[in-house]
Amino acid sequence: MTTVQAQTTQAEATIPAGVWKSDPVHSQVGFAVKHMVVATFRGTFTDFAVTLANEDGEPSLYGAVRTDSVQVRDENLNGHLLSPDFFDSERYPEITFTSTGIHADGADLIVDGDLTIKGTSKTVDAHGQISGPVAHPAGGERIGIDLETQVDRTEFGLNWNAPMPSGGVAVQNEVTLTVHLELAKEE
């Protein structure tokens, strides 16, 4: 068993050929940010689509998230996130990501690309893992991709904040973005 684990951790991440589409039931797009200096606040988006294509040996990844699908556990806060203070969902209905490069670094997957929030694009690099492909019981193949990156939200115009009475601010600028994807191969 130890030998198998060692081989798995040393395996090179590979991008399988074909076009792969995200399964929204088994995938998640989310964010995490330090709140009130002491806790990590998390939210998700429920309406998104991601496509991984590798038809010519040059893999690409594109994702789009509907900003009005943001979900947090408080209805008032959800409304605030949709306002111009944060995502301004009426004027900017989507957050998009377009890869500029995908490569392996040993077992790690690195995806470089342009992230656009509120009309502002910045280059980011996401790190994570890819697994599969595996045969799905209902037919076809599936792969999994988990990626994470950190961004400064103020670089995208998400500037709202409030000072804390004991020092610090209500919302830190550094936000961790995560995607956990199950993608189905198009036949």
Task: Render pLDDT for 39-91 as a digit per residue (tens, 0 to 9).
Answer: 899 999 999 999 999 988 899 999 999 999 999 988 888 999 999 999 999 99
- Collect all residues with Cβ–Cβ distance below 8 Å to 26 and sequence separation of at least 6: 182
- pTM of the predicted model, to two decimals? 0.88
Of 31, 138, 150, 161, the residue nearest 85 (C-alpha): 161
What is the structure's pLDDT at 182?
97
Task: Render pLDDT for 91-134 as a digit per residue (tens, 0 to 9).
Answer: 999 999 999 999 988 889 999 999 999 999 999 999 999 999 99
Q: Are 151 and 177 in contact (CB under 8 A)?
A: yes
Q: What totals of helices (H) and strands (E) does the chain contain, helices first?
A: 2, 11
Which tops the pLDDT comparison, 94 or 170?
94
Of 97, 91, 27, 94, the residue nearest 66 (C-alpha): 94
> ω before 133 within 30° of 0 (cis)?
yes
Average pLDDT over residues 11-26: 89
- Domains of the chain by start residue, with CATH: 23-185 (2.40.128.110)
